[in-house]
Amino acid sequence: MAETLTRRHHLLGLEGMSAAEITPFLDLAANYALLSRSRTGPRDALRGRTVINMFFEDSTRTRTSFELAGKRLGADVINMTVATSSVNKGETLLDTAATLNAMRCDLLVVRHGQSGAPALLAQKVEASVVNAGDGMHEHPTQALLDALTIKRHLGTLSGLTVAICGDVGHSRVARSNIHLLTAMGSKVRLVGPPTLVPAAMASLGDVSIHHDMESGLRDADVVMTLRLQRERMGAGLVPSAREFFRFYGVDSRRLALAKPGALVMHPGPMNRGVEIASDVADSAQSVIQEQVEMGVAVRMAVLDRLSRMRTAS
Amino acid sequence: MTDLVFENVRLIDPEAGTEAPGRLLVRDGHIAGRDKAGAEGKPENAEIIDGAGAVLSPGLIDMRVAIGEPGFEYRETIASCARAAVSGGVTTIAALPNSKPAIDEPALVRLLRSRGEEMGLVTILPYGALTKGCNGEEMAELGMLREAGAVAFTDGIRAIADTKRMRQLLAYAKGIDALVVQHPEDPSLAKGGAATAGALATRMGLPQIPAAAEAILIARDLRLAEMTGARLHFGHVSTGEGLALIRQAKAKGQAITCDTAPPYFALNEEAIGAFRTYAKLSPPLRCEEDRLAVCAALADGTIDAIASDHAPWDADDKRLPFAQASAGGTGLTTLLGVGLSLVHDRHLTLPQLIALMTSRPASLLGSDAGTLNDGASADLCLFDPDAEWVVEAGSQPGRAQNTPFDGRRLKGRVRGTWKAGRQVYDGSPA
């Protein structure tokens, strides 16, 4: 929430944030992207600060990205992987907050399987909390890095049509992207079977729902695919990987319906041949590797800005 | 192919709801024109078929048929089922997926379709399994089955028990605009039951299924269909309470349809008296009040189609104590004859009855059969609505003989059946 961001110096989500609030993150991240490429680090913006990466869910790529971002800014970065099998998670979480306060941590990066867990921590810790993905709720740094990647290629974030395809209903990436892209003035299409794209998703803003890829991808500027978890098959939401690919996979034939040169994106890790065809993932239109690169720059910008806001208040 | 001219027939146009004396021309296996009685002139060398005042209608479309092949050929093969079908004027059947293996693979859908085409007697429209193995759990590959030619999806003789799974199946089906067909009976209430709960079953000492098992499942599924916006069809609906719910949903504009089968408007539970296992059906025969409610729902349009609910069993499956005998009866041969009782009893007009067995199921299943319009395949049924005959188990066309109408005198007999302009049944007994 914007309020949470400005008064309490957390980044818990992008819902409710305006273009004016989002843009400074993107501008700063664009700078960091250039600096990272020219290898002119490490800088010292976060020297003397402690960043704790607390991951209640495994995620090598996001954790590494935050770790690198903190280190490039000169922070002391600690990784904590927390077992999720604890009996009473609520109690554990609050106990953890007390521990962190005692350690005088400045920035706390949290990934948790439960929606709202970072918000709960944020109420109790003195550090600034960055949501690194909570349940099916939000993944704000992913949406920021997606936005930065789009802006670098298309020059703008307004007036675009972005198709988000696949397992939208369970996706925190999709939700954060919807909030960001609609705030910036773009149109979002959610594309997939009704079992994965429930009608209620339409309530998230200026979004339209498409149950066939043809209408969903037609004339899109950006085609974003999401990972289809295996467990969606067991849960009876999708009959099989091959049927999913046949009807909802992004292949070159369907991509051809989008605008010429439309960007292909994926938050990773990909299931090739399930939600995306290999040739599309590796095509010239794919910016999937660049998303990973922008991830570090965006996380540098987020850590830097939150740290400065703390100092200022 | 020689041209065919049907003369001296009463032509039924089920879409228009009309019946008029006239002639019908068939050329190259397709309908090539109709005219009114008394018209002169005909193509050279045409074969003339004198209908002697009989009724000529589109070949019947039976939207609920269990075959037996693959897996249960001892009950009925595709070939024997087709022979039974044409003897009843049926030229298109929708085949339930409860075979062994279940029709849950695209190749099996193609197999059924092509076996129908090879024989040239009936068109087989396969239902795809809604769940793998029709076991009510994992979703079948509905999209790929449909691409292979499945016309709709159902677990056939079984209802999807789990509410959440049913919701997901309907939601997914909605995404590909597919029709879902449900067996309307709460599985836990029905389990182990052999007859409708009531005085008769109590007296006979049979395990009972409350009639409300139907309404309970229909109420649940109507609500799920509303949530998902899916197209849902209930097969062989048999109770007044179930039909009232469907009537209500239709009035609200929901995309809900249903069919019933002849036993449910022509028989009641008394038919199982003396433990006649040929009258053991699923759902079980109901009380007289429910039978009358089915007749009323046919008359007021709540019911969209009449299907035979043909369920072939071997004599050994039926020669058992009642509760242990298999449920289901044959129905292809008797579909029209029993159906005509609705016309003789003035519940329906003849064109209304024929529409329930031709154009209405055709539109539900997306079939282009069931019409006498020019260009349609010449699938035809010639019948005498007043000719009487007696149904005799043991001398029915096809392999399975388990008819619940054994011994019944029917008024209305098929004189001939044509598939794509070729005569496939000539009115003689098997």
Instruction: Say if residues B415 and B383 touch (Cβ distance below 8 Å).
Output: yes
Please state, as a whole number, how many other Cβ atoms lie within 10 Å of the Cβ of residue B324.
Answer: 10
Instruction: Say if residues A276 and A250 touch (Cβ distance below 8 Å).
Output: yes
In A104-248, where does DSSP find H-type helix? Answer: 117-124, 140-154, 172-183, 213-217, 231-234, 241-248
Q: Report residue B220 as tokens.
A: 């649940």
pTM (two decimals): 0.92
Distance between CA B146 and CA B100 in Å, rounded? Answer: 19
Position A83 scores a pLDDT of 63
pLDDT by residue (tens digit) across B127-138? Answer: 999 999 999 999
Question: Which regions of chain A does DSSP assign to beta strands (E)?
Answer: 50-55, 76-81, 107-112, 128-134, 161-165, 187-191, 207-210, 222-225, 263-265
Position A42 scores a pLDDT of 60
Identify the sign of the CA torsion B14, B16, B19, B21: negative
Q: What is the mean pLDDT of chain B?
A: 96
Pairing of strands A263-265, A187-191: unpaired
Distance between CA B56 and CA B7 in Å, rounded? Answer: 10
Angle CA(B199)–CA(B202)–CA(B207) in degrees, nearest 5?
Answer: 130
Percent of chain B with pLDDT over 90: 96
Q: Report residue B138 as tokens.
A: 């994992």
**Chain B residues with beta carbon closer than 8 angstroms to that of A212:** 175
Beta carbons of A194 and B174 less than 8 Å apart: yes
Q: Is B316 a catalytic residue?
A: no
Q: Pick the closest to residue A180 from A304, A17, A305, A5 (CA basis).
A: A17
Helices (H) and strands (E) in chain A, counts: 13, 9
pLDDT by residue (tens digit) across B269-292? Answer: 999 999 999 999 999 999 999 999
Facing residue for A243 by CB, picked from B144, B165, B174: B144
Task: Please name the residue that has the structure tokens 């939401």.
Answer: A237
Q: B295 in helix, strand or coil?
A: helix
Position A6 scores a pLDDT of 46
Position B12 scores a pLDDT of 97
Position B175 scores a pLDDT of 95
Mutation site, A238, A243, A246, A247, interface B, largest B CB count within 10 A: A243
10-residue block means of pLDDT along chain A (313 residues)? 56 96 97 86 85 91 96 93 59 80 92 94 93 97 98 98 97 97 98 95 92 97 94 89 96 98 96 96 97 97 93 75
The shortest C-alpha distance from A14 to chain B (Å) reads 30
Beta carbons of A236 and B139 less than 8 Å apart: yes
Helix (H) or strand (E) holding A293: helix A288-312
Beta carbons of A239 and B171 less than 8 Å apart: no
Residue A235, classified by CB atoms within 10 Å of its CB into exposed (0-12), middle (13-18) or buried (19+), is: middle
Which residues, 6 or more positions from A275, have their beta carbon under 8 angstroms from its beta carbon?
A165, A166, A167, A225, A226, A227, A228, A244, A245, A248, A249, A250, A266
Higher pLDDT, B244 or A9: B244
Mutation site, A190, A195, A210, A233, interface B, largest B CB count within 10 A: A195
Beta carbons of A236 and B176 less than 8 Å apart: no
Beta carbons of A242 and B144 less than 8 Å apart: yes
* Phi and psi, residue B330, nearest 5°: -70, 165
- pLDDT classification of B429: cutoffs 50, 70, 90: low
Helix (H) or strand (E) holding B64: strand B60-65
Q: Report residue B416 as tokens.
A: 């001939």
The shortest C-alpha distance from A188 to chain B (Å) reads 19
Higher pLDDT, B233 or A231: B233
Which one-letter amino acid corresponds to residue A133?
A: G
Position A97 scores a pLDDT of 81
Position A103 scores a pLDDT of 87
pLDDT by residue (tens digit) across B5-17? Answer: 999 999 999 999 9
- pLDDT over 60 (residue B84): yes
Higher pLDDT, B56 or A35: B56
Q: Pick the closest to residue A183 from A30, A299, A26, A16 (CA basis).
A: A16
Structure ipTM: 0.84
